[in-house]
Structure 1
Amino acid sequence: MRRTALLPLALTAALTLAACGSNAGDSTTSQPSATADVGQASAVTPVDAATLAAAKKEGEVLLYTNSEDQQMTPLIKAFEAANPGIKVRSLTLGNKEMFQRYETEVASGGSTGDVIMSSDAVGWLSFLQGGNVLKYEDPNQANLPDYAVLAPGLYAFSEDPVIAVFNKALLPEAKQPKTMAELATMAPQLDGKIGATDISNVIQFGATSAYLDKYGDAGWKTLETIGAHAAVESDNGPLVTKLAQGQYAAAFFVSGNVRAFIVDDVAKVVNYTYLTDGTPLLPRGIGVTTKAAHPNAAKVWLNWLLSVKGQEAACQGGFTPYRDGVKCDFGLAQVTAIVGKDNLLVGTYDPSLASGGPALISRFNKAFGR
């Protein structure tokens, strides 16, 4: 999917429509639950006074993001309330589009984005290689887990899990698989009723890479078994629409952003689960650009997004906060309490993602009849 954040909009519209008149269930929510210890919030680590003063003179920051307005609005409102005098302009672009736009604008001498936020690991690797990310060490870094630092100056804004999603009318909750291995065992009985997104989708690519990092050849056998009985959609929009309409009973490696939208009428038709034999976590990278017109405002914005307050606002947008002390039904602490720390497959921006990408794509396409 070029913009994974389109998924909540598609899901809400499609599933709410499908829920009308459904007797699949009466739940007002449809989510895994666990008591999660979120830990203690660390001390606030803001930017220095000189950077903040310069940021207020600049007055604004331009963000290129793969997230839609409805996701970003809670963050922008909270940031601007905490930092009067600094406005955030958010421009939603496709993952590849935002990197290309930045490079084109820089080449032409025009103004461009101050901060980029994207889930595209391979896109980030190329962007980093081009020297386009400011090697800025944010004051929050000392309080972040090691996996949150993706490269010098590049941080994980959120650690978003991928999930399995089910149509409850076609596959009752008691029969729904909890692991990829179970889904593979059931695949012959679900022939043609399993959906997935194309490997060109950054979520599918990232999740598949993380899954195979753990399971190797055994993981490929699982995927090949599923692939023989699955259909592939171009992106998550058509996938969840067809699942809601009953064309699919199950879909796997779906963006975890949909969790916040599976409530009320939607939850009468659909539910989701974390995969307990391995839930991939995909970092949503964020960094200040080297040619930012408002570099100080960009640093203040990044610093706030990585703070506990920023992570709390991220939860309101459906993102997955990972910092200690952040209470969120969809936070990393909650996911960990359900699947266990050993079953979190934390994605990275390792260069092998780019070098090994063509072979992975080719084998995936063969497994899924592409």
Structure 2
Amino acid sequence: MRLSLLLPAIASIALLLPGFSGAETTRFPAPSGRTGDVLTVYSSLDNDLAAPLVRAFQQANPDIAVQYENLLTGEIHDRVVSESDIGPTADFVFSSAMDLQVKLTNDGYARPIRTPDTDTWPGWANWRDTAYALTYEPAVFAYHKPSFAGSEPPATRADLMRWIAEHPGLARDRVGSYDVTRSGVGYLFLARDQQLYPGIWAVIEAMGRAGMQQYPTTSDLLERINDGRLVLGYNLLGSYAAEWARTHPDVGMILPRDFTVVVSRVALVPRAAARPDLGGDFLAFLMSPQGQNLLSQTLRLSAVSLEVAGRQSPAGGMEELTGLRLRPVPVTPGLLAYLDQATRAKLLARWHAALSAR
């Protein structure tokens, strides 16, 4: 994750050049064939998960084309800042890096938007009508089922340390997690772990001794778990892990029994959006019962909407959340503490020290 919050001028210009960063752009033509109205979305949600949401929105709005740009969370933040300072930017921004989304809002890069569902939205999931949590996503353990044939995978952090100690050959270079220097959600998970669990550094040290592998995206980790290059992934986003577990028979998922951090994808409409009306329409759709049902079915998660969550069938969400020690992250300026440069430098230094411990 790029967290240089004040980019040099040349970097700001580079962000706007074709081919900059690892952006994956998908164009969804207007179903009616019209070419005038285009909604531009910056999002960290993979295309295959976003496509049903976009198409359902277009079904209700057939004259709107959608340009969908799949970006790393840090790239989303940096592009909105740099583009807003010199001209228009995306119309709708949807990211799993809650802290960066709240920073955009706090720094004046988001505009207040009220939808028909704003008044009934949970208080923890709405910051001044400018930043809305739209999903409810636990951090999970994912594992390679064939590697645990005949045995149970770890279900707590203490179990994870014990398993590494008892199976050094199997664990060596085959435990993975996010590269927290590049993954916004990985950094957020680490910061929350430190807040909630004093023993987290012993866990990180154990993974470091096992040669933990680091990757910037959840897909990178799940691909390697699926084919056995990794046997276990720590603190993966539950939305992706649940989908892979459903569609790949060799991928399993565990919701930690000691405590489960829950994060949300946060949506906002940028102040400098070229078409804030379309961004607001897409936000209203995703907050509506139809949109929340679709998010729940697509991501296999519980809905944020109290109306939808209250009548949701077990198949629509992640019913295994029942009975867990859930620790959701509220959408508040408290998230900005994670972005303080001194705090970040201290946390990353401890991360690197723990991983290199012998």
TM exceeds 0.5?
Answer: yes
Contact 1:211–1:345 (CA under 8 A) maintained in structure 2:
no
Deviation at 1:251, TM superposition (A): 1.5
Matched-pair contact (CA < 8 Å) for 1:242–1:248: yes
- Residue of structure 2 in register with 1:331 after alignment: 317
**What's the secondary structure of 2:82's corresponding residue?**
helix
In structure 2, distance between residues paired with 1:252 and 1:330: 25
* Residue 262 (structure 2) pairs with residue 281 (structure 1): yes
Q: Aligned residue for 2:329?
A: 347
1:114-153 → structure 2 map (5 Å cutoff): 114-150=91-127, 152-153=129-130
SS of 1:134's partner is coil
Structure 2 match to 1:317 = 298
How far did 1:278 drift? 1.4
Residues 168-218 of structure 1 show CA distances to partners (whole Å, capped at 9, x for unaligned) of 222236421111121112221233132222222223212222222222x23
Over 3 Å counting, the alpha-carbon distance change for 1:173 and 1:285 in structure 2 is: farther
Give, in whole Å, the separation in 1 of the partners of 2:316 and 2:42: 24
- Deviation of the 1:233 alpha carbon: 1.9
Mind listing any 5+ residue stretches in structure 1 that lack a counterpart?
7-57
Confirm or deny: 8 A CA contact 1:312 1:327 kept in the other structure: no
- Percent identical: 20
Distance 1:148 1:335 in 2: 21
Contact 1:153–1:287 (Cα < 8 Å) also in 2? yes
Residue in structure 1 matched with residue 32 of structure 2 by the alignment = none
Alpha-carbon separation, structure 2, partners of 1:330 and 1:250? 26
Q: How does 1:230-269 map to 2 (within 5 A)?
A: 230-235=211-216, 236-256=218-238, 257-263=240-246, 266-267=248-249, 269=250
Task: Quote the offset at 1:306 in angstroms.
Answer: 0.9
| 2:269 maps to 1:292 | no
Match of 2:348, as an amino acid?
I
Q: Give the alignment's TM-score, normalised by structure 1.
A: 0.75
Which of 330, 351, 355 pairs up with 1:364? Answer: 351
Root-mean-square deviation (CA, aligned residues, Å) is 2.8
One of 98, 106, 121 as aligned partner of 2:84? 106
**Partner residue in 1 for 2:13:** none
Give the letter for the 1:83 counterpart.
Answer: N
Which runs of structure 2 are paired with 1:154-233 in the superposition (5 Å)? 154-172=131-149, 174-191=151-168, 192=172, 193-200=174-181, 201-215=183-197, 217-233=198-214
Structure 1 pair 80–327 and aligned structure 2 pair: CA distance change class (3 A): farther
Q: Distance in 1 between matches of 2:211 and 2:136?
A: 27
Q: Which amino acid aligns with 2:354?
A: A
User: Which range moved further: 113-122 or 310-319?
Assistant: 310-319
Unaligned runs of 5+ in 2: 3-20, 25-35
- Would the aligned equivalents of 1:308 and 1:326 in 2 still touch at CA under 8 Å? no
Scaled by the length of structure 2, the TM-score of the pair is 0.77
Secondary structure in 2 aligned to 1:263? helix
Letter in 1 for 2:243: A
Change (3 A) 1:203 1:104: closer
Pair 328,205 (structure 1): closer, same or farther in 2 beyond 3 Å? farther
Seen in structure 2, the aligned counterparts of structure 1 residues 5 and 70 have a Cα distance that, compared at 3 Å, is farther
- Residue 65 of structure 1 corresponds to 43
Query: Deviations for 1:56-110, whole angstroms, at most 9, x for unmatched residues?
Result: xx9442211112321111111211222344443322222222222233333333x
Q: Secondary structure at the match of 2:41?
A: strand
Aligned length: 311
Q: Evaluate the alpha carbon distance shift between residue 187 and residue 330 of structure 1 in structure 2; reply closer, same or farther with a 3 A threshold.
A: farther
Deviations 1:100-132 (A, max 9, x none): 2233333333x3211111112342243223310
SS of the residue aligned with 1:271?
Answer: strand
Q: Secondary structure at the match of 1:184?
A: helix
- The one-letter amino acid paired with 1:143 is T
Q: Could you say if the C-alpha distance between residues 237 and 314 of structure 1 is closer, same or farther in structure 2, counting changes exceeding 3 Å?
A: closer
1:75 is aligned to 2:75: no
User: Cα gap change, 1:304/1:170 in structure 2, threshold over 3 Å: closer, same or farther?
Assistant: same
**Matched residues in 2 for 1:359 and 1:348: separation?**
23
The farther-off stretch of 76-85 and 316-325 is: 316-325
For 1:254 and 1:5, the matched residues in 2 are separated by 21
Give the Å deviation of 1:315.
2.9
The higher relative CO (CA closer than 8 Å, separation ≥ 6) is in 1
- Distance in 2 separating the partners of 1:237 and 1:119: 14
User: Take 2:214 and 2:204, find their aligned partners in 1: how far apart are those partners?
Assistant: 16
User: What secondary structure does 1:253 align onto?
Assistant: strand
Give how far 1:301 is off. Answer: 1.2
